[in-house]
Amino acid sequence: MRFDRALLTSALCLGLVQAAAAQTKWDLPAAYPAANFHTENLVQFAGDVDKATGGKLKITVHANASLFKAPEIKRAVQGGQAQLGEILLANFQNEWQVFGADGLPFLADSYDESAKLYKAQKPLLEKKLGDQGMMLLYAVPWPPQGIYVKKPIASAADLKGVKWRAYSPATARIAELVGAQPVTVQAAELSQAMATGVVESYMSSGATGYDTKTYEHIKYWVDTQAWLPKNAVIMNKAAYDALDKPTQTALLKAAADAETRGWALSKQKNGEYIDLLKKAGMTIAPPSPQLKADLKKVGDTMLKEWLDKAGPEGKQLVDAYNAK
């Protein structure tokens, strides 16, 4: 009896060890709050992977820059400190211009145009990330970008000298072209920056405005629909290669589902966030004809500058986008 019990205990211990050995744990750092739709989509993606692999691959989502700050996430995935990561592509434009294509104002200014741009951009992204030891899992756009500002603006001249949040090369360049004062502030620090007067204006979506309670500090949002920047989920290639084939298949299927779901969520949330901002006391208005014309000039200037820097790859992307 004692021998049988010992045998049973040994068998149970062996089973637990084998189960632990069979289970792979991955980290997925993200820069945005847990309640943001991008993060909610990540959590559902992780749950889908867990379910599809029978618990063999466990992905932990680390929201709100709790594991790595936004500018550090790509390097963490590339270096293997995290197996997955969510990045705002436009943040990395200085490294490679094509990362910033969807941050060019007024190039793709609707969901349909954004989808066309992604189709043209995707092969280039996959090759570049592949060269860096990574893979593109999926990408989801933010809702269209507008200008949060403390008082109504009729033209770009009204932004002169305003403390403007710059979170990417494109937003910094817009500040320069309209005469605003660029201040580098990441998403996790935005609420505090507005509360202390470090930031008076910035360009972003209704989602960011609501998540950060911008309405407590800034009362106007000009719905310019300037661009739809994308968050991309990237993966360390060596980590992926170490998975067995069924787990790889389940992971890629969950990623494809997350991309489809994310685009639909972005569209849905755009309307919801605008309604929530209005209820919170924010005035939302389209740009005046003069402001629209001023911003179109900014967009034209930035596209020309971008094409000069991006070289043949940039021309290839824009030609592919315009051809579709």
Q: 83 and 47, same structural domain?
A: yes
The domain that holds 249 is classified in CATH as 3.40.190.170
CA dist., res. 274 & res. 32, Å (int): 19
Calculate the alpha carbon distances from 164 to 16, 91, 128, 203, 206 in Å: 55, 16, 31, 8, 17
What is the 8-class DSSP label of residue 201? Answer: B
Q: 89 and 154, same structural domain?
A: no
* Residue 167 confidence (pLDDT): 87
Q: 282 and 217, same structural domain?
A: yes
Show pLDDT as tens, one digit a residue, over the chain (324 residues).
554 655 555 555 555 444 444 799 999 999 999 999 999 999 999 999 999 999 999 999 999 999 999 999 999 999 999 999 999 999 999 999 999 999 899 899 899 999 999 999 999 999 999 999 999 999 999 999 999 999 999 999 999 999 999 988 889 999 999 999 999 998 889 999 999 999 999 999 998 899 899 999 999 999 999 999 999 999 999 999 999 999 999 999 999 999 999 999 999 999 999 999 999 999 999 999 999 999 999 999 999 999 999 999 999 999 999 996
- Give the residue from 150, 281, 170 showing the smallest Cα distance to 222: 150
Helix (H, G, I), strand (E, B), or coil: what is residue 41? helix
Q: 192-218: per-residue pLDDT in tens? A: 999 999 999 999 999 889 989 999 999
Joined together, the tokens standing for residue 307 give 């094409």
Q: 294 and 176, same structural domain?
A: yes
Domain hosting residue 172, numbered range: 146-226+277-323
Q: 122-141: per-residue pLDDT in tens? A: 999 999 999 999 999 999 99
Q: 53 and 151, same structural domain?
A: no
- How would you class 193 by CB atoms within 10 Å of its CB: exposed for 0-12, middle for 13-18, buried for 19 or more? buried
| Structural domain count of the chain | 2
CA dist., res. 1 & res. 7, Å (int): 10
